[in-house]
């Protein structure tokens, strides 16, 4: 049986790879892509999502809903210095393509209510849309089967600041509300998990490039700007927190160690905005989330290799590839 899911995304670099997982893993039944303000300009993120669906040969099959264009209470913060435009300068003819008319928050609420307890959400951007959905409909939390969140660090370093990971930093109020809401939530953190176990070094990148498929060429291009950035900051390869989050929902056997934590997010601190406090049981706080601590790195890489080796036919020519 396939897994019905929605991917809530700020589509750039690894968000594109996560969408490929959602679009092409035979275990996935991707019902919608919902867009949230994050990595790069909102309209560019939408272009990146369409481009990704096109490379997967699934353009126009999965609806793209436009969500919140800014965080709940703060101005948008970009990661364009990390990701460039998020798609390696690739483009396509977009004539005739349309996004869904319903707002992403309404679509999330509606689709969860249509199949209570069946739909999972993979949230790989700031949590603005998810927080709005739970504010809008008190039954949203109970209607969602499971929420997989990429964000925070588990007693480790941040990336946008020393304390905070990007997704939680951009909209800390939303992240705080989501962890207080009572979802069945699984967290895929930046440090140490992503930094230690979901980085593809040159040898792995070469194996992907050697596939020679439209998908592997696309992967190499969308990851190039981030790879350059990562190397400048001392990370020896491309980082894959978002595709890992999607893969863990669909292939739970890729998780080797998952522990219960109480997760809360700092909204008031000056130096610690967006810091995720992950308490492991000694502080007298009830666990409210599962945090992934170890994965089968080789299995995750093999899974992506399998996805990227699929000989898809893009629906429209990819300009620049």
Which residues here bind ligand RIB, judged by CB under 6 A? 14-15, 39, 79, 82, 124, 150, 159, 165-167, 190, 241-242
Reduced to 3 states (helix: H, G, I; strand: E, B; else coil), residue 96 is: coil
88 versus 125: smaller Cβ distance to Ca ion: 125
65 versus 166: smaller Cβ distance to ligand RIB: 166
Query: Do 88 and 222 meet the contact criterion of CB atoms below 8 Å apart?
Result: yes
Pairing of strands 289-295, 64-66: unpaired
Q: Which phi and psi (to 5°) does residue 186 adopt? A: -120, 130
16 interface partner picked from Ca ion, ligand RIB, none, CB below 5 to 8 A per type: none
In the complex, the smallest distance separating the C-beta of residue 95 from ligand RIB, rounded to whole angstroms, is 28
50 versus 190: smaller Cβ distance to ligand RIB: 190
278 interface partner picked from Ca ion, ligand RIB, none, CB below 5 to 8 A per type: none
Please state, in angstroms and rounded to a whole number, the distance separating the CA atoms of residues 140 and 240: 28
In the complex, the smallest distance separating the C-beta of residue 166 from Ca ion, rounded to whole angstroms, is 8
Query: Do 7 and 30 meet the contact criterion of CB atoms below 8 Å apart?
Result: yes
Please state, in angstroms and rounded to a whole number, the distance separating the CA atoms of residues 147 and 6: 10
What are the residues binding Ca ion (CB under 5 A)? 10, 15, 124-125, 242
241 interface partner picked from Ca ion, ligand RIB, none, CB below 5 to 8 A per type: ligand RIB
165 interface partner picked from ligand RIB, Ca ion, none, CB below 5 to 8 A per type: ligand RIB
**Element (DSSP H or E) covering residue 10:** none
In the complex, the smallest distance separating the C-beta of residue 158 from ligand RIB, rounded to whole angstroms, is 8
Torsion sign across C-alpha atoms 298, 303, 306, 312: negative
């Amino acid at each position: 049986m396939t897994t019905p899911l929605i991917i809530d995304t700020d589509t750039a670099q690894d968000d594109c790879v996560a969408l490929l997982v959602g679009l092409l893993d035979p275990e996935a039944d991707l019902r919608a892509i919902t867009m949230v303000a994050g990595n790069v300009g909102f309209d560019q993120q939408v272009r990146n999502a369409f481009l990704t669906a096109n490379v997967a040969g699934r353009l126009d099959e999965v609806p793209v809903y436009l969500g919140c264009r800014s965080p709940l209470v703060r101005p948008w913060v970009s990661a364009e210095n990390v990701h460039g435009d998020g798609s390696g300068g690739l483009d396509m003819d977009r004539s005739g393509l349309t996004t869904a008319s319903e707002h992403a928050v309404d679509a999330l609420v509606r689709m969860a209510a249509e199949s209570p307890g069946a739909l999972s959400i993979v949230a790989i951007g700031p949590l603005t849309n998810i927080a709005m959905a739970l504010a809008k409909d008190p039954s949203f939390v109970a209607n969602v089967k499971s929420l997989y969140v990429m964000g925070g660090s588990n007693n480790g370093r941040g990336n946008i600041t020393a304390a905070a990971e990007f997704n939680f930093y951009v909209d800390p109020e939303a992240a705080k509300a989501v962890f207080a809401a009572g979802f069945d939530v699984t967290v895929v953190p930046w440090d140490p998990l992503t930094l230690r176990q979901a980085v593809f070094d040159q040898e792995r990148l070469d194996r992907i490039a050697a596939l020679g498929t439209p998908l592997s060429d696309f992967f190499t291009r969308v990851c190039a700007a981030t790879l350059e950035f990562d190397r400048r900051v001392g990370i020896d390869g491309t980082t894959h927190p978002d595709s890992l989050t999607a893969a863990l929902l669909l292939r739970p056997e890729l998780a080797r160690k998952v522990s219960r934590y109480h997760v809360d997010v700092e909204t008031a601190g000056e130096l610690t905005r967006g810091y995720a406090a992950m308490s492991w049981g000694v502080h007298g706080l009830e666990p409210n989330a599962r945090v992934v601590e170890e994965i089968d790195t080789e299995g995750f890489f093999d899974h992506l290799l399998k996805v990227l080796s699929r000989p898809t036919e893009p629906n429209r020519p990819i300009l620049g590839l």
